[in-house]
């Protein structure tokens, strides 16, 4: 975990297996997280009005993907990232992260993910990851 104590995994489900519209196998996972609203990152982002930085949201997705793959991963390509609503750690403390993983050529993983809670979708992510051989 890059940001120590930034979040805690409360629950994990999956894999559920299925097929993508193109007919390729897909694995789906769901994580329940609790953010630490007292984490030092919020002192600078933004003082008096803390929000989860976008880079931290992408890092959460990357770290959870590494958990299910049991291997360190790195982003090769971010095809589409949409930040829809700010995550306010005191207000949106409990989050759900959905991962949908499709294996590609050369051991690449094509991933679609969302971070949401009961009322909001915060980020939609689509990208490609590879095993990080440097770690």
Query: Tell me: the pLDDT tens digits for 49-72?
Result: 899 999 999 999 999 999 999 999
Confidence of residue 135 (pLDDT cuts 50, 70, 90): low
Residues in the chain, how many? 135
Tens-place pLDDT, residues 10-30 = 999 999 999 887 888 999 999
Residues 6+ apart with CB under 8 A from 15: 27, 28, 29, 68
Q: Where are the domains of the chain?
A: 7-131
Question: What is the pLDDT, as a whole number, of residue 66?
Answer: 95
8 A C-beta contact, residue 38 and residue 90: no
Q: How do residues 88-115 score in pLDDT, each as one tens digit?
A: 998 999 999 999 999 988 889 999 999 9
- Residue 64, SS3? helix
What is the structure's pLDDT at 115? Answer: 98
What's the rounded Cα separation, in Å, for the pair 61 and 78? 12
Using CA atoms of 48, 60, 95, 103 in order, give the dihedral in degrees to the nearest 10: 150
Beta strands in the chain (DSSP E): 7-19, 25-35, 73-83, 94-103, 109-116, 121-131
**What pLDDT score does 110 carry?**
96
101 within 8 A of 73, measured Cβ to Cβ: no
CB 113 within 8 A of CB 82: no
Check if CATH label 3.10.129.10 holds for domain 7-131. yes
């Amino acid at each position: 975990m890059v940001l120590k104590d930034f979040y805690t995994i409360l629950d994990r489900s999956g894999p559920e297996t299925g097929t993508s519209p193109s007919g390729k196998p897909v694995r789906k996972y769901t994580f329940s997280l609790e953010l630490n609203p007292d984490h030092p990152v919020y002192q600078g982002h933004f003082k008096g009005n803390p929000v989860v930085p976008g880079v931290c949201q992408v890092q959460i997705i990357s770290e959870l993907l590494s958990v299910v793959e049991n291997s360190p991963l790195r982003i090769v390509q971010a095809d589409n990232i949409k930040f829809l609503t700010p995550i306010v750690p005191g207000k949106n403390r409990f989050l759900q992260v959905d991962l949908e993983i499709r294996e590609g050529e050369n051991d690449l993983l094509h991933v679609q993910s969302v971070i949401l809670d009961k009322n909001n979708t915060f980020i939609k992510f689509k990208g490609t990851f590879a095993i990080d051989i440097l770690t």
